[in-house]
Amino acid sequence: MKVAVCVKHVPEGSPRLDPGSKRLDRSGEGALNHFDANAVEEALRLKGSDADTEVLVVSLGPAKAADSLRKALAMGADRALHVSDDGVAGSDLVATSKVLAKALGRESPDLVLFGQQASDSDGAVLWAAVAERLRRPVVSQAAELSLAEGALRVKRQTEFGYDVIEAPLPAVVAVSDAINEPRYPSLKGIMGAKKKPFDTVSLADLGIEAGEVGEAGSQTEVLALSEPPSRGDARKIEDDGNAAQAIVDFLAEKRLV
Amino acid sequence: MSVLVFLEHHGTELQKGSLGVLAKAATLGGGDVAAVLVGGGVSSLAPEAGKFGAAKVYVVDDDSLEPPLPQARVDVLAKVVRDGGYDTVLFANSVLAADAAAGLAARLDAGLNWDLVDVELRDGELVGKRPALQDSVLVDVGWKAAPRLALFRAGSFDAPEGAGGEPEVENVTVELEDYSRGAKVVSQEQEESSGPSIEDADVIVAGGRGLGAPENFTLAEELARALGGAVGATRAVVDAGWYPYAAQIGQTGKVVSPKLYVALGISGAIQHKVGMQSSNVIVAINKDPNAPIFEFSDLGVVGDVHEIVPKLTELVQQRKGS
């Protein structure tokens, strides 16, 4: 069986939007999106000790995204595929899903996993667009996942409780960050990662024209950046023994008690 | 502009979030607004949509589509958009709606802007508002072409019942894609809440890991009682079995916007924030001065909940008693 995990390399610290390009400034240090670590962990758990199962990690991003792929390899993934091309920068959902679906399509995985959210863009929808392009069933918010006889079973957490959902493979699943605790790469894992297969492909390798992706291939645009409305007179105090009284005074002022 | 709104229902109730988006769409000034309803027995809910501004409701009343799965909904929406010539499709965020919106975006190669908190027509062009990077910057977003898809943050709009009339109802039949029939809901566990519903409460006192132990939820319960409110909980404590799922507030769980939200020992992870950030006034008590919750609280108190909350409850009781 082949399990592909899509991972994103995100800026660390307090990322900013570049006022010129209005894109996220990706020039600083980055790391594996921590929600994606849950997806990598789940793939490794499904693989267990089965040597016939391959865990492939896939990332679409700048050269530095290789660091996040290496981290996933160090956690235990078997192989990495990096789609790296300057033409990809500025891609929105339509364009990003197109490239990822192309890259995944070549690999024909039985299962494609995503984490529940990108911590930089707060995007939490990519899997559904990729599943649509691959024409496969999709389940999101998986709090539990198991496989049996060519099908998967997911316990999906929703606003109302849990749904148990079954779907035939191949399929796409986005896991919740409640599904597991991702392992830390061991020293042995980190050393071993350097020897694992690592493919880097360009848009041309995937047969994608430049105009289909990047800003040219995107259907949405950023028009302007501005300061958000502040929360009025937000304040923060340290408890000096009188915090309870300070809260009551605040609530009285707001006519809430 | 011709706007279509994806209406979500649960049981026999239309969801407030999607009605809010419908009401907003009806006041945009872009002409008549239509809605889509998919599920078993939804025909009877269509007239209700008229009260919130739908001039027309497309209905797929089919018991086999009642399970809340997104891909069949993509098939329905794609057909309605194409046949009806709609250029704008709006969704209120939910586990179901987010997946349906993104699937539709890929199907139609259409732009989807998500996490929007508002939308307006500016010189005839649709402009969305999205707070980004932990709400530190407000981004105006647009669409280069139709169809334009938008997914709004839960709780972005109120759903005032207007004077709208009886909507035109059109029944739609859709041929589903093979892969849209792949996933099946085999069982559902839904916990019903006891006590005051947190979705309707004016005051919510919510507890997180910082309470330290399940029995300390009595702190939250007593303060909630004194303030006349309901008790909420984070996913972390619900997962740990400290409090029932019905009280869970967040991305999975309930989305609330009370007049007052008191967060006790809650760090303010994105999963939780999504469910309560549109509360009018937020008061947070947490011993970690760097907890993210302080970034979106009106009053942040760095301190020990076990010290502060009993005193606070007593002071509130005194005030109410006097």
In a shared domain, residues B210 and B173: no
- For residue B284, the chain A residue with the least C-alpha distance is A236
- Among residues B146, B181, B216, which one ends one of the domains? B181
Inspect the interface and report whether the beta carbons of B114 and A250 lie closer than 8 Å: no
- Smallest Cβ distance to B74: which of A22, A132, A157? A132
Q: Is residue B193 part of a domain?
A: no
Q: H or E stretch including A74?
A: helix A65-75
Alpha helix locations (H) across B235-269? 235-239
The model's pLDDT over A15-61, given as tens digits with 9 standing for 90+, comes to 788 888 888 888 888 999 999 999 999 999 999 999 999 999 999 99
* Cα–Cα distance measured from residue B78 to residue A109, given in angstroms and rounded to the nearest whole number: 27
- Among residues B127, B146, B181, which one ends one of the domains? B181
In a shared domain, residues B227 and B165: no
Q: Is residue B128 part of a domain?
A: yes
The model's pLDDT over B133-179, given as tens digits with 9 standing for 90+, comes to 877 789 999 999 999 999 999 878 988 887 678 999 999 999 999 99
Give me the residues of chain A with pLDDT under 70, please: 230-232
Inspect the interface and report whether the beta carbons of A119 and B270 lie closer than 8 Å: yes
Q: Chain B 113-142, CB below 8 Å of chain A: which residues?
A: 113-115, 127, 131-133, 135-142
Q: What is the pLDDT of residue A230?
A: 67
Task: Looking at the complex, report in whole angstroms how far the Cα of residue B286 sits from the nearest Cα belonging to chain A.
Answer: 10
In a shared domain, residues B174 and B236: no
In a shared domain, residues B177 and B224: no
In a shared domain, residues B28 and B147: yes
CA distances from B58 to B6, B33, B295 (A): 10, 11, 42
Tell whether domain A2-212 is in CATH 3.40.50.620. yes
Q: Is residue B189 part of a domain?
A: no
- The strand pair at A79-83 and A111-114 is best described as unpaired
Q: Is residue B248 part of a domain?
A: yes
Q: What is the pLDDT of residue B195?
A: 54
pLDDT confidence bin for B215, thresholds 50/70/90? very high
Inspect the interface and report whether the beta carbons of B304 and A239 lie closer than 8 Å: yes
In a shared domain, residues B143 and B266: no
Q: Is residue B159 part of a domain?
A: yes
In a shared domain, residues B256 and B129: no
Number of independent structural domains in chain B: 2
CATH number at residue B272: 3.40.50.1220
Confirm whether pTM is higher than 0.90: no
Other Cβ atoms within 10 Å of A221 Cβ, number: 16
Q: Is residue B195 part of a domain?
A: no
Domain hosting B47: range is: 3-181
Q: Is residue B228 part of a domain?
A: yes
Other Cβ atoms within 10 Å of A180 Cβ, number: 19
- Among residues B128, B147, B181, which one ends one of the domains? B181
